[in-house]
Protein backbone atom coordinates (compact mmCIF):
# COMPACT_ATOMS: atom_id res chain seq x y z
CA UNK A 1 0.00 0.00 0.00
CA UNK A 2 1.45 3.33 -1.07
CA UNK A 3 -0.06 4.99 1.97
CA UNK A 4 1.87 2.76 4.32
CA UNK A 5 5.14 3.29 2.55
CA UNK A 6 4.89 7.03 2.80
CA UNK A 7 4.01 7.02 6.48
CA UNK A 8 7.44 7.20 7.96
CA UNK A 9 9.38 8.68 5.11
CA UNK A 10 9.54 12.14 3.62
CA UNK A 11 7.00 12.75 0.94
CA UNK A 12 6.23 15.10 -1.89
CA UNK A 13 2.59 15.08 -0.90
CA UNK A 14 2.13 18.07 1.33
CA UNK A 15 -0.42 16.50 3.64
CA UNK A 16 2.31 13.99 4.50
CA UNK A 17 5.27 16.32 4.27
CA UNK A 18 3.69 18.80 6.69
CA UNK A 19 2.07 16.27 8.96
CA UNK A 20 3.23 17.05 12.50
CA UNK A 21 5.20 14.13 13.86
CA UNK A 22 5.46 14.90 17.54
CA UNK A 23 3.22 16.52 20.14
CA UNK A 24 5.04 19.84 20.01
CA UNK A 25 4.52 20.20 16.26
CA UNK A 26 0.76 20.10 16.59
CA UNK A 27 -0.25 23.64 15.76
CA UNK A 28 -3.90 22.80 16.08
CA UNK A 29 -5.58 22.76 19.45
CA UNK A 30 -7.67 19.71 20.32
CA UNK A 31 -6.03 20.55 23.64
CA UNK A 32 -7.66 18.16 25.98
CA UNK A 33 -7.34 15.32 23.46
CA UNK A 34 -3.63 15.95 23.19
CA UNK A 35 -3.31 16.10 26.95
CA UNK A 36 -4.96 12.71 27.32
CA UNK A 37 -2.78 11.23 24.58
CA UNK A 38 0.37 12.56 26.21
CA UNK A 39 -0.63 10.96 29.48
CA UNK A 40 -0.96 7.56 27.79
CA UNK A 41 2.47 7.92 26.27
CA UNK A 42 4.09 8.96 29.54
CA UNK A 43 2.61 6.05 31.46
CA UNK A 44 3.20 3.63 28.55
CA UNK A 45 -0.32 2.43 29.14
CA UNK A 46 -3.54 3.06 27.32
CA UNK A 47 -7.01 1.64 26.72
CA UNK A 48 -8.42 1.01 23.25
CA UNK A 49 -9.18 4.35 21.65
CA UNK A 50 -11.96 5.50 19.40
CA UNK A 51 -11.21 8.61 17.34
CA UNK A 52 -14.43 10.07 15.99
CA UNK A 53 -14.81 13.15 13.84
CA UNK A 54 -15.12 14.61 10.36
CA UNK A 55 -12.60 14.04 7.56
CA UNK A 56 -9.24 15.75 7.63
CA UNK A 57 -9.35 16.97 11.20
CA UNK A 58 -6.28 15.21 12.60
CA UNK A 59 -7.30 11.71 13.67
CA UNK A 60 -4.62 9.83 11.76
CA UNK A 61 -2.06 12.44 12.72
CA UNK A 62 -2.65 12.02 16.43
CA UNK A 63 -2.62 8.23 16.15
CA UNK A 64 0.72 8.29 14.34
CA UNK A 65 2.21 10.60 16.95
CA UNK A 66 1.13 8.32 19.77
CA UNK A 67 2.77 5.43 17.96
CA UNK A 68 5.95 7.32 17.29
CA UNK A 69 6.28 8.64 20.82
CA UNK A 70 5.59 5.25 22.34
CA UNK A 71 7.88 3.14 20.21
CA UNK A 72 10.48 5.44 18.71
CA UNK A 73 12.65 3.46 16.35
CA UNK A 74 10.76 0.23 17.05
CA UNK A 75 7.57 1.55 15.57
CA UNK A 76 7.57 -0.52 12.41
CA UNK A 77 7.48 -3.74 14.39
CA UNK A 78 4.82 -2.58 16.81
CA UNK A 79 2.34 -0.81 14.59
CA UNK A 80 -0.14 -2.10 12.06
CA UNK A 81 -2.35 0.19 10.01
CA UNK A 82 -5.44 -1.21 8.35
CA UNK A 83 -8.39 0.17 6.52
CA UNK A 84 -11.75 -1.34 7.41
CA UNK A 85 -13.30 -0.43 4.09
CA UNK A 86 -10.63 -2.35 2.28
CA UNK A 87 -12.13 -4.37 -0.56
CA UNK A 88 -10.40 -7.52 0.64
CA UNK A 89 -12.91 -7.76 3.44
CA UNK A 90 -12.88 -8.27 7.13
CA UNK A 91 -11.61 -11.85 6.96
CA UNK A 92 -8.31 -10.76 5.53
CA UNK A 93 -8.20 -7.98 8.06
CA UNK A 94 -8.77 -10.51 10.84
CA UNK A 95 -6.02 -12.75 9.53
CA UNK A 96 -3.63 -9.83 9.45
CA UNK A 97 -4.59 -8.79 12.95
CA UNK A 98 -4.15 -12.34 14.19
CA UNK A 99 -0.68 -12.86 12.83
CA UNK A 100 0.40 -9.41 13.97
CA UNK A 101 -1.04 -9.77 17.46
CA UNK A 102 0.34 -13.25 18.04
CA UNK A 103 3.87 -12.00 18.40
CA UNK A 104 4.65 -9.95 21.49
CA UNK A 105 5.68 -6.33 21.26
CA UNK A 106 9.27 -5.36 20.87
CA UNK A 107 10.84 -2.98 23.40
CA UNK A 108 9.54 -1.71 26.72
CA UNK A 109 5.90 -1.05 25.85
CA UNK A 110 3.87 -4.15 26.72
CA UNK A 111 1.46 -3.89 23.79
CA UNK A 112 1.34 -3.25 20.06
CA UNK A 113 -1.02 -0.85 18.33
CA UNK A 114 -3.41 -1.58 15.50
CA UNK A 115 -4.87 1.47 13.79
CA UNK A 116 -8.10 0.65 12.02
CA UNK A 117 -9.22 3.46 9.76
CA UNK A 118 -12.84 3.93 8.64
CA UNK A 119 -14.05 1.46 11.22
CA UNK A 120 -17.60 2.73 10.78
CA UNK A 121 -17.57 1.15 7.33
CA UNK A 122 -17.72 -2.31 8.92
CA UNK A 123 -21.00 -4.21 8.83
CA UNK A 124 -22.60 -5.11 12.15
CA UNK A 125 -21.39 -8.71 11.79
CA UNK A 126 -17.86 -7.57 11.10
CA UNK A 127 -18.06 -5.32 14.12
CA UNK A 128 -19.05 -8.29 16.29
CA UNK A 129 -16.02 -10.12 14.98
CA UNK A 130 -13.84 -7.11 15.65
CA UNK A 131 -15.14 -6.91 19.18
CA UNK A 132 -14.15 -10.54 19.81
CA UNK A 133 -10.75 -9.90 18.29
CA UNK A 134 -10.30 -6.91 20.58
CA UNK A 135 -11.11 -9.11 23.56
CA UNK A 136 -8.88 -11.98 22.48
CA UNK A 137 -5.78 -9.87 22.02
CA UNK A 138 -6.24 -7.44 24.89
CA UNK A 139 -2.99 -8.66 26.44
CA UNK A 140 -0.81 -7.88 23.47
CA UNK A 141 -2.67 -5.25 21.47
CA UNK A 142 -4.44 -1.94 21.69
CA UNK A 143 -6.75 -0.74 18.97
CA UNK A 144 -7.12 2.80 17.78
CA UNK A 145 -10.32 2.90 15.76
CA UNK A 146 -10.96 5.87 13.55
CA UNK A 147 -14.38 6.79 12.23
CA UNK A 148 -16.55 9.67 11.13
CA UNK A 149 -19.61 8.67 13.14
CA UNK A 150 -19.19 6.85 16.44
CA UNK A 151 -22.92 6.14 16.44
CA UNK A 152 -22.39 3.70 13.58
CA UNK A 153 -20.35 1.44 15.86
CA UNK A 154 -22.06 -1.13 18.03
CA UNK A 155 -22.30 -0.32 21.74
CA UNK A 156 -19.93 -3.08 22.93
CA UNK A 157 -17.16 -1.56 20.82
CA UNK A 158 -17.89 1.99 21.93
CA UNK A 159 -17.90 0.96 25.56
CA UNK A 160 -14.54 -0.79 25.24
CA UNK A 161 -12.84 2.36 24.03
CA UNK A 162 -11.91 5.73 25.40
CA UNK A 163 -13.63 8.06 22.94
CA UNK A 164 -11.81 11.06 21.47
CA UNK A 165 -14.09 13.49 19.67
CA UNK A 166 -12.46 15.63 16.98
CA UNK A 167 -13.99 18.79 15.62
CA UNK A 168 -13.82 20.54 12.26
CA UNK A 169 -10.80 22.82 12.07
CA UNK A 170 -11.63 26.52 12.36
CA UNK A 171 -10.43 29.22 10.02
CA UNK A 172 -7.71 30.58 12.26
CA UNK A 173 -6.06 27.17 12.50
CA UNK A 174 -6.40 26.41 8.80
CA UNK A 175 -4.90 29.83 8.01
CA UNK A 176 -1.98 29.16 10.31
CA UNK A 177 -1.23 25.81 8.70
CA UNK A 178 -1.52 27.33 5.22
CA UNK A 179 0.97 30.02 6.23
CA UNK A 180 3.45 27.42 7.45
CA UNK A 181 3.24 25.51 4.18
CA UNK A 182 3.34 28.66 2.06
CA UNK A 183 6.55 29.62 3.83
CA UNK A 184 8.06 26.19 3.40
CA UNK A 185 7.26 26.11 -0.29
CA UNK A 186 8.01 29.81 -1.00
CA UNK A 187 4.50 30.62 -2.14
CA UNK A 188 2.88 34.00 -2.27
CA UNK A 189 -0.65 33.69 -1.04
CA UNK A 190 -3.38 36.34 -0.95
CA UNK A 191 -5.56 36.77 2.13
CA UNK A 192 -8.62 36.19 -0.03
CA UNK A 193 -7.11 32.97 -1.31
CA UNK A 194 -6.85 31.75 2.26
CA UNK A 195 -10.50 32.54 2.80
CA UNK A 196 -11.28 30.66 -0.39
CA UNK A 197 -9.33 27.63 0.81
CA UNK A 198 -11.30 27.66 4.03
CA UNK A 199 -14.61 28.19 2.27
CA UNK A 200 -14.08 25.32 -0.14
CA UNK A 201 -12.59 22.90 2.35
CA UNK A 202 -15.21 23.53 4.98
CA UNK A 203 -12.95 22.78 7.92
CA UNK A 204 -11.35 19.72 6.30
CA UNK A 205 -7.66 20.51 6.67
CA UNK A 206 -6.53 17.73 4.35
CA UNK A 207 -8.74 19.10 1.59
CA UNK A 208 -7.39 22.62 2.18
CA UNK A 209 -3.77 21.43 1.94
CA UNK A 210 -4.43 19.34 -1.17
CA UNK A 211 -6.09 22.28 -2.84
CA UNK A 212 -3.20 24.50 -1.94
CA UNK A 213 -0.79 22.03 -3.49
CA UNK A 214 -2.88 21.66 -6.64
CA UNK A 215 -3.12 25.44 -6.96
CA UNK A 216 0.61 25.87 -6.41
CA UNK A 217 1.36 23.46 -9.21
CA UNK A 218 -0.29 25.97 -11.55
CA UNK A 219 1.12 29.17 -10.06
CA UNK A 220 3.31 30.02 -7.06
CA UNK A 221 1.17 33.09 -6.53
CA UNK A 222 -2.03 31.77 -5.05
CA UNK A 223 -5.08 33.93 -5.67
CA UNK A 224 -8.71 33.56 -4.76
CA UNK A 225 -9.62 32.90 -8.39
CA UNK A 226 -6.99 30.23 -8.78
CA UNK A 227 -8.29 28.36 -5.75
CA UNK A 228 -11.88 28.42 -6.96
CA UNK A 229 -10.80 27.42 -10.42
CA UNK A 230 -8.80 24.46 -9.16
CA UNK A 231 -11.54 23.42 -6.80
CA UNK A 232 -13.96 23.94 -9.67
CA UNK A 233 -16.51 25.29 -7.33
CA UNK A 234 -18.46 28.47 -7.52
CA UNK A 235 -17.26 31.68 -6.01
CA UNK A 236 -19.77 32.59 -3.32
CA UNK A 237 -20.21 36.07 -4.80
CA UNK A 238 -21.16 34.64 -8.18
CA UNK A 239 -23.95 32.63 -6.65
CA UNK A 240 -25.04 35.53 -4.53
CA UNK A 241 -25.43 37.68 -7.64
CA UNK A 242 -27.47 35.04 -9.36
CA UNK A 243 -29.72 34.70 -6.33
CA UNK A 244 -30.16 38.45 -5.93
CA UNK A 245 -30.92 38.93 -9.60
CA UNK A 246 -33.50 36.23 -9.69
CA UNK A 247 -35.18 37.43 -6.50
CA UNK A 248 -35.32 40.94 -8.00
CA UNK A 249 -37.12 39.55 -11.01
CA UNK A 250 -34.10 39.91 -13.31
CA UNK A 251 -34.57 36.42 -14.57
CA UNK A 252 -32.70 36.72 -17.86
CA UNK A 253 -29.59 38.13 -16.25
CA UNK A 254 -29.62 35.48 -13.58
CA UNK A 255 -30.06 32.76 -16.15
CA UNK A 256 -27.21 34.00 -18.27
CA UNK A 257 -24.84 33.98 -15.31
CA UNK A 258 -26.02 30.57 -14.32
CA UNK A 259 -25.43 29.10 -17.76
CA UNK A 260 -22.00 30.70 -17.84
CA UNK A 261 -21.08 28.89 -14.66
CA UNK A 262 -22.31 25.61 -15.99
CA UNK A 263 -21.03 25.81 -19.54
CA UNK A 264 -17.80 27.76 -19.18
CA UNK A 265 -16.68 26.59 -15.78
CA UNK A 266 -18.02 23.08 -16.05
CA UNK A 267 -20.03 23.08 -12.85
CA UNK A 268 -22.75 20.53 -12.45
CA UNK A 269 -26.31 21.29 -11.44
CA UNK A 270 -25.69 19.67 -8.09
CA UNK A 271 -22.62 21.87 -7.49
CA UNK A 272 -24.80 24.90 -8.08
CA UNK A 273 -27.58 23.67 -5.84
CA UNK A 274 -25.13 23.09 -3.01
CA UNK A 275 -23.62 26.50 -3.48
CA UNK A 276 -27.06 28.10 -3.45
CA UNK A 277 -27.98 26.43 -0.22
CA UNK A 278 -24.77 27.48 1.46
CA UNK A 279 -25.28 31.10 0.35
CA UNK A 280 -28.83 31.40 1.61
CA UNK A 281 -27.87 32.71 5.02
CA UNK A 282 -26.10 35.64 3.34
CA UNK A 283 -29.25 36.94 1.68
CA UNK A 284 -31.06 39.92 3.12
CA UNK A 285 -34.59 38.62 2.81
CA UNK A 286 -37.23 37.53 5.30
CA UNK A 287 -37.03 34.14 6.95
CA UNK A 288 -40.34 33.24 5.39
CA UNK A 289 -38.88 33.72 1.94
CA UNK A 290 -35.80 31.77 2.87
CA UNK A 291 -37.96 28.84 3.93
CA UNK A 292 -39.75 28.89 0.61
CA UNK A 293 -36.43 28.93 -1.20
CA UNK A 294 -35.12 26.01 0.83
CA UNK A 295 -38.19 24.02 -0.08
CA UNK A 296 -37.70 24.71 -3.78
CA UNK A 297 -33.98 23.94 -3.60
CA UNK A 298 -34.63 20.61 -1.95
CA UNK A 299 -37.15 19.72 -4.62
CA UNK A 300 -34.74 20.62 -7.42
CA UNK A 301 -31.99 18.63 -5.77
CA UNK A 302 -34.22 15.59 -5.59
CA UNK A 303 -35.14 15.87 -9.25
CA UNK A 304 -31.52 16.22 -10.32
CA UNK A 305 -30.51 13.18 -8.34
CA UNK A 306 -33.34 11.32 -10.01
CA UNK A 307 -31.85 12.27 -13.37
CA UNK A 308 -33.82 15.26 -14.62
CA UNK A 309 -32.29 17.71 -17.07
CA UNK A 310 -30.14 20.07 -15.01
CA UNK A 311 -30.58 23.12 -17.21
CA UNK A 312 -34.35 22.90 -17.15
CA UNK A 313 -34.46 22.26 -13.42
CA UNK A 314 -32.18 25.15 -12.55
CA UNK A 315 -34.01 27.51 -14.88
CA UNK A 316 -37.26 26.55 -13.19
CA UNK A 317 -35.62 27.09 -9.83
CA UNK A 318 -34.55 30.62 -10.75
CA UNK A 319 -38.00 31.37 -12.09
CA UNK A 320 -39.55 30.26 -8.82
CA UNK A 321 -37.19 32.56 -6.92
CA UNK A 322 -38.59 35.42 -8.97
CA UNK A 323 -42.07 34.58 -7.74
CA UNK A 324 -40.88 34.25 -4.14
CA UNK A 325 -39.03 37.56 -4.35
CA UNK A 326 -42.09 39.55 -5.34
N1 LIG B 1 -3.00 18.98 15.18
C2 LIG B 1 -2.53 19.30 13.97
N3 LIG B 1 -1.72 20.36 13.82
C4 LIG B 1 -1.29 20.69 12.59
N5 LIG B 1 -1.59 20.05 11.46
C6 LIG B 1 -2.39 18.98 11.55
C7 LIG B 1 -2.90 18.55 12.81
N8 LIG B 1 -3.67 17.48 12.61
C9 LIG B 1 -3.66 17.24 11.29
N10 LIG B 1 -2.88 18.12 10.64
C11 LIG B 1 -2.71 18.20 9.19
O12 LIG B 1 -3.97 17.91 8.59
C13 LIG B 1 -3.89 16.88 7.63
C14 LIG B 1 -5.08 15.95 7.78
O15 LIG B 1 -5.04 15.29 9.03
P16 LIG B 1 -5.34 13.73 9.20
O17 LIG B 1 -4.86 12.98 8.04
O18 LIG B 1 -4.80 13.37 10.53
O19 LIG B 1 -6.92 13.75 9.22
P20 LIG B 1 -7.93 12.55 9.56
O21 LIG B 1 -8.79 13.05 10.66
O22 LIG B 1 -7.20 11.28 9.74
O23 LIG B 1 -8.82 12.49 8.25
P24 LIG B 1 -9.62 11.23 7.62
O25 LIG B 1 -10.83 11.02 8.47
O26 LIG B 1 -10.02 11.75 6.27
O27 LIG B 1 -8.69 10.09 7.57
C28 LIG B 1 -2.57 16.19 7.90
O29 LIG B 1 -1.97 15.88 6.70
C30 LIG B 1 -1.73 17.19 8.66
O31 LIG B 1 -0.83 17.83 7.79
MG1 LIG C 1 -7.20 9.52 8.56
CA of 206, nearest ligand number: 1
Question: Helical H runs in the chain?
Answer: 2-7, 14-17, 31-43, 59-71, 75-78, 89-102, 124-136, 155-160, 171-184, 191-201, 205-216, 224-231, 236-247, 251-264, 269-279, 287-305, 310-325
- Which residue has a Cα nearest atom 30 of ligand 1? 19
Residue 59 pLDDT > 90, yes or no? yes
Residue 4 pLDDT > 50, yes or no? no
Quote the pLDDT of residue 2: 38
Residue-averaged pLDDT of the chain: 87
Task: State pTM to two decimals.
Answer: 0.76
Pocket of ligand 1 (CB under 6 A): 15, 18-20, 26-28, 55-61, 177, 205-206, 209
Which atom, in ligand 1's list, is nearest to the CA of 26?
Answer: 3
- Taking the centre of ligand 1 as the mean of its atom positions, its distance from the CA of residue 269, in whole angstroms, is 31
Query: Among 101-115, 180-194, 198-212, which stretch is predicted with the lowest mean pLDDT?
Result: 101-115
Query: Among 27-31, 177-181, 213-217, 291-295, which stretch is predicted with the lowest mean pLDDT?
Result: 27-31
- Taking the centre of ligand 1 as the mean of its atom positions, its distance from the CA of residue 56, in whole angstroms, is 5
Q: Which domains does the chain have, with CATH numbers?
A: 2-165 (3.40.50.300), 174-231 (1.10.8.60), 236-325 (1.20.272.10)
Quote the pLDDT of residue 47: 92
- Taking the centre of ligand 1 as the mean of its atom positions, its distance from the CA of residue 167, in whole angstroms, is 11
Q: Which of 212, 210, 156, 307 is nearest to 16 (CA)?
A: 210
Amino acid sequence: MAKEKSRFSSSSIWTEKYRPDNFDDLTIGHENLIKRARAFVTSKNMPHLLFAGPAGCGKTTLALIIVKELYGKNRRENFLELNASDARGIDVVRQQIKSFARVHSLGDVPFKIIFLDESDALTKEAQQALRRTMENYTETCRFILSCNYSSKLIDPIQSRCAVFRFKLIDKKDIDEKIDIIAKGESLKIDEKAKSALYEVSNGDLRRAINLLQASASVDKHITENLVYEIASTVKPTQIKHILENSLDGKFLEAREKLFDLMLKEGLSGIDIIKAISSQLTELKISNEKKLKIIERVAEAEFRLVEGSDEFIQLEALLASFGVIGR
